[in-house]
Every structure is written in structure tokens, then in C-alpha cells.
Structure 1
Amino acid sequence: MPKGWWVILLALISFGLAPQTVHASSQRQVPTLYLHGHHGGPNSMVPLMTAAQRTDHATAVVTATVDGDGHVHLEGDWPVATHRPLIKIVFKNNRTLNYHRIADWLRNVIETLQSHYQITKFNPGLFTSVFGT
């Protein structure tokens, strides 16, 4: 795994480990984020998310699509009572190797989720990468 991905992964894990105060039914459960790899697309994570839904009774709630300018578009519905929510992240530009740009896009997704759903932490779930030569 290239050095840039380790930095992104460590930052996401650190962010996700921040302590939080839990308030019974008014607090959303911690979401698990799924991000496709290089050249991946909207359907790349479907088999893994389907397995999580089957074996862990998780629920796919939102797809966060990031356009080439870094703007995040959310699709789906995330009721507060959702058990084990799964969020799919899709980059429209799925071929960039610019790790700084990818880190900026991930930050934009997290900030958008914080703004729309008041999340305070997340499970980095599965971020995959396959690099072509």
C-alpha cells in the first residue's frame, strides 16, 4: 500500500476513535464507511455491503458521491433508529493518484456527514485500493 494511503487510513481511524457522549434514542449509531478503490465505482462495494447486511444485520443508508471538484452529494435516507448504518462513498474521478486530493475529498465527505447527520465518529470500514501500472 503506498505511503499516502497509510496516512489517509491512519487519519480516518484516529478521527473515528474520538470519544463521544451517547444519548439514548436521540443519537445515531456509528456508521461504517465503504470506499471503492482506484478505478472502482458505485457497484464496487455492493458485495461487501450486502454481506454486512446479511451477516451483521447492517443497513445501507446513504451514498455520498464526490464530484471532480470535491462537492459531496448525499442520496438516501438515514433514520435515527437505524441499526449498524453503512455509508457508501463514491468518487466520480476514480482514477486520480493525488493522495492530497483524495484526502480532501474524504474530509469533505466527513464534514458533510457531520453537518447533515451530526455524526461525531465513524468506523472506517473498508477502504480498498488497486493500482494499475
Structure 2
Amino acid sequence: MSAWRYLHQQLDNKQTATIPICKLDQTISVTSSQEQIPTFYIHGFRGGNYTTEKMVGSAQKVTGSPVFLRATVDWHSKINYSGYWSTARYPIVQLIFQDRWIPSALMERWFNQILNDLSQRYHFQNYNAIAHSLGAVAVISQLIHTYNQPLPQINRLALIAGPFDGLVAFGDLPNINPLDASGKPAFMTPKYLWMYLNRHKIPANALVLNIYGNINDHSNTDKYVSVSSARSIKYILQDQVREFQEYNALGNSGEHSKMHDDKHVLHKINTFIYPEFTVSRSDYA
């Protein structure tokens, strides 16, 4: 068997794997999967299931869904599904990469594969996404690369601590790359410049929330990503998407690896992603 034929056989196997469906109460269910808007939770470099665990748990609490689907890309480049797809309007999908050192290009590839696979199974037309750190860069890249492909459209997108114009000590240093009044950074990495030049390919109907952190130690960083780098996505998106808003997490709430668990950040994300549900800050106390 040729390597090419073997690869296609493996992809076919991935797409025919059975995913159990959980039928939920009619008050939170829809009658057709085409009405559904699944929400994808995507971690970043050196992340894992723990990265998005509290975000997924808080979304379940807000939406009333007792189940979620986990899509794990294992060390053998195989997608394994566990948990449940549901009949809820907002099925929850958690993406996990067992290779914790995975680069953004591979995150993008696997997110695209999983999105394509699930949309072929359930025929949803729109989706939400919440992405942390390098996962946020991967999602923006995926939107650009697939702008002319027949995939579901992004509805609401929450970006958390994205190193859009470099990481501290990797293409960026604290307080050396200021943003001008329009949000344009003084210096652009090659990746950032590519995203800017291709910004017209990002869906214009998207609603975007960008969350950035500042630990307030005069470095103007979240420890790993500078405020300038995390906020630089505004210059790319603000005139391209339907709505762009920012949220600044400060102090302990603004540390790179704590933002995805912080009660204030969780409240902001769920209020944005699930606007028709009543979200109380006390839910995260």
C-alpha cells in the first residue's frame, strides 16, 4: 500500500469513528444540528486539557449542558474523540494536542481537520472559538488560509493572551514596540505582517473579543506576552470584523497562565460567547 493511500485510509478512519450523541432537555436543545453553533476551546504552546478545563466547566454551567466533546490529537497524528456531541444549541468541543510543543502551523492544521470533520457529521453553519496564547495565532491563520473554502463561518471569537507580534525574548521585548494611536505596532514580525496583509480574508461578520494581560510590574507584559504584542491584533481586525472589543486583565488576573482560569476573565468570555444566557460573577467565586 502506498504512503498516500495509507494516509487517506487513516483520515477516512478518523472521520467514521462513532461519536455518541447526548439528547438534552428540550429547553436547551435544537431540533436540527444545522441550528447549532458549537464552541471550540483551543489551548496554546505547552498547554493541555488543564488549560481550557475551567473555561469548559464554566461554559457547561452557564449553558446548562452536562456533557462536552473532547477531540485529542495523539502522538501518532490521530484524532481521538471522547465524551459526547449533544443536541444543545451550543455543543462544547475541547481540543487537546498531546504534543505540548506543537507549533502554531500544526495547531491550525488539526483545528481545521476537526472543524471539517465535525461539520461534515453535523452540518452546522456557524461556530464559536476561544483560543489561548499560540492557539489564538493559529485560529487567525486558519481563518485566513480557509477564507474561500466551504467551511462553517466563525460567529464569535475570543482571543486570550495571543502573541500576535512576537513573544517576550522571541521577536519582542518589554516596552520596545509601542502601538500608535491606531493600534499599529512600531515593529512587525514576518508572521504579523503576513496576517496584516491578508486581513481582508478574515470573515467580516465575525465578532471578536481580545483579552490581554498586564501583571503590573512595569514590564507591561503578562510575563510571556507584551501588552503591545497581544493588543496588536486590533490593528489587523478592528476595521475588518463586525465588532471588536478588548478586555484588560490586571495583576494576578493578568498572568499568562492564569488568565484562562480567572473568574473575571471567565465571566467576560461567557458573557461574550453566550449572550442570551444570564451570567453572574458569583458563578465563578
The more displaced of 109-118 and 84-93 is 109-118
CA distance 1:119–1:83, change in 2 (3 Å): closer
**Distance in 2 between residues matched to 1:128 and 1:55, nearest whole Å:** 20
Match of 2:98 in 1: 92
Match of 1:128 in 2: 132
Match of 1:4 in 2: none
**Distance in 2 between residues matched to 1:68 and 1:132, nearest whole Å:** 28
The structure where helix makes up a greater share of residues is 2
Residue 122 of structure 2 aligns with an amino acid whose one-letter code is: Y
CA distance 1:88–1:33, change in 2 (3 Å): same
In 2, are the aligned partners of 1:71 and 1:108 still within 8 Å (CA)? no
CA distance 1:70–1:110, change in 2 (3 Å): farther
**Distance in 2 between residues matched to 1:55 and 1:26, nearest whole Å:** 22
In 2, are the aligned partners of 1:58 and 1:83 still within 8 Å (CA)? no
**Distance in 2 between residues matched to 1:94 and 1:51, nearest whole Å:** 24
Deviation at 1:89, TM superposition (A): 0.4
The structure whose Rg is larger is 2
Residue 129 of structure 1 aligns with an amino acid whose one-letter code is: S
Residue 86 of structure 1 aligns with an amino acid whose one-letter code is: I
**Distance in 1 between residues matched to 2:66 and 2:125, nearest whole Å:** 19
Deviation at 1:32, TM superposition (A): 0.4
In 2, are the aligned partners of 1:65 and 1:73 still within 8 Å (CA)? yes
Q: How does 1:44-123 map to 2 (within 5 A)?
A: 44-79=51-86, 81-97=87-103, 99-123=104-128
Q: TM-score, normalised by structure 1?
A: 0.66
In 2, are the aligned partners of 1:65 and 1:89 still within 8 Å (CA)? yes
CA distance 1:132–1:118, change in 2 (3 Å): farther
Identity among equivalent pairs (%): 22
The alignment yields a C-alpha RMSD, in angstroms, of 2.4
**Distance in 1 between residues matched to 2:83 and 2:77, nearest whole Å:** 19
**Distance in 2 between residues matched to 1:58 and 1:116, nearest whole Å:** 20
Task: Give secondary structure in 2 for the equivalent of 1:122.
Answer: strand
Task: Give secondary structure in 2 for the equivalent of 1:44.
Answer: helix
Unaligned runs of 5+ in 1: 1-23
Deviation at 1:49, TM superposition (A): 1.4
Residues matched between the structures, number? 107
Unaligned runs of 5+ in 2: 1-29, 135-166, 170-285
Q: TM-score, normalised by structure 2?
A: 0.34
**Distance in 1 between residues matched to 2:76 and 2:111, nearest whole Å:** 12
